[in-house]
Every structure is written in C-alpha cells, then in structure tokens.
Amino acid sequence: MAFSTVLLDIEGTVCPISFVKETLFPYFLQQVDSLTQSREPQVQDLLSQFKVEDVKAHIRDLVARDVKDPILKQLQGVIWQHGYASGQITAPVYADAINFIKSTNKPVYIYSSGSVKAQQLLFQYVRGSDKAIDLRPEIMGYYDINTSGVKTKSESYRNIARDIGCDPNDILFISDNVLELEAAQKAGLKSKLAIRPGNYPVEDLSAYDTISDFAQL
C-alpha cells in the first residue's frame, strides 16, 4: 500500500479507547460546577452558546451520551488544559505509536472529534517513564469537527486532503471506527482498521486492512 501522508485517529488508535471515558470525561465532569461559575471570557462565551436554561444539566447530558457537540468539545479543551498542566492528567499513548510518530519520514496529521486544543494537549503531555513526552513537534497538523466536519462524512476527508494539499489517494487514514473508515474510503483515502485492546468488536474483520502495531507500517 503506497501512501505519502498519515492521518491518525486518537482514541482506540494511538491510545486506549478507555482513556477519554475513564479519565478525561470524569475529570471534566468534576469541574462542571466551577466551570459554570467561571468569569473567564472564553468560558462565558462558550457557555452562552448553549441557549438552554440549565447549562450544568445540559453539559452532563451531552457527556453522558457522548454527543460530539462542538461547544462542549471546546469547553473540555479548556478544562483539560488545567489538568494536563497540573500533572493530574497524562496521555497513555501506545509505545509503538510514539515510536512511529517520532521516526517516520512521512508527515503525520491528527483527526479527532475532540477539539484541536484537546488534541494538542494530549500530544504535549504523553505519559513517559519519568516525565511527559511532547510529541507536538513531530505532528504537522490537527483537524476536528469544527475545522473539517463530522468524521463519518466523506466531505470531511476531502476538506482535510485539500487543506494538506495532496491527493486523497496519497493519504492513509487509521482509525478504530469502521464508519469513519468507510467515509474516508469514499473520499478516496486509503485506510486501516486499528485493532487495540478494549476496542469495540468488528463483525467482519476480513473486510478491512487491519493494524495492531505501528511497526507494521
């Protein structure tokens, strides 16, 4: 499979799928009360965009249903920044993914439903043996639902290819989500299904090119 550029999903691909739901979401929910009382202009602006009477209940409901709401994603990025910077959160990126991102001669981009800010924080504070590893210098760019569109829509991948400035067929997209892979394929991208511990089972693995270790690339 020939490709010149790599586009990576995050959870279930470069780090455990459980990281978001078992670490990031709970940390965010613990801060909801203080978040709604914040006087930070950025936070107040985002909260005002919800247009609901009970903001706290609305936020908790969105998180519980894992709704890919762009306002929520931006708020989460603000809160997670405090958690990462204080050392309370580090990202458990797989060792093979770290090695690949550091060593590949192909440009690496990230596409996640989490905000670009949240993505950058995750790769800035990667869990190391003695201190956090900053992988941001190795990553060429980041895309989210605000910049490029929903991950299950083909047009989102066309948008990314145009922004990168290369033919869709030159991009390899790796994700644990088959709906995302199908959308990417319709847009002309090559794809591989990430097989990681804890990922949701896929009924027919033979229908996809799979990868369980980035050393396979």
Domain ranges of the chain: 5-16+90-216, 20-85
- Binding positions are 9, 11, 112-113, 151, 176
Residues 155-211: pLDDT tens digits?
Answer: 999 999 999 999 999 999 999 999 999 999 999 999 999 999 999 999 888 889 999
Pick from 101, 109, 169, 118: nearest CA to 143 = 109
- Binding positions for Mg(2+) are 9, 11, 176
- Whether the pLDDT of residue 35 is over 90: the answer is no
Arithmetic mean of pLDDT, 3-8 = 98
The pLDDT of residue 127 is: 96
The pLDDT of residue 1 is: 80
- Binding positions for substrate are 112-113, 151
- In whole angstroms, give the CA distance from residue 72 to residue 80: 12
The pLDDT of residue 26 is: 94
- 3-state secondary structure (DSSP) of residue 69: coil
Arithmetic mean of pLDDT, 25-35 = 92
- Whether the pLDDT of residue 77 is over 90: the answer is no
The pLDDT of residue 8 is: 98
The pLDDT of residue 143 is: 98
What confidence category does residue 20 fall into, taking pLDDT thresholds of 50, 70 and 90? confident
- 3-state secondary structure (DSSP) of residue 215: helix
The topology (CATH level 3) of 20-85 is: 1.10.720
- In whole angstroms, give the CA distance from residue 43 to residue 32: 11
The residue to which tokens 């693995």 are assigned: 205
What are the structure tokens assigned to 133, written together? 């590893």
- 3-state secondary structure (DSSP) of residue 133: strand
Arithmetic mean of pLDDT, 118-135 = 94
- In whole angstroms, give the CA distance from residue 126 to residue 108: 16
Class of domain 5-16+90-216: alpha beta
What are the structure tokens assigned to 180, written together? 């995302």
What confidence category does residue 36 fall into, taking pLDDT thresholds of 50, 70 and 90? confident
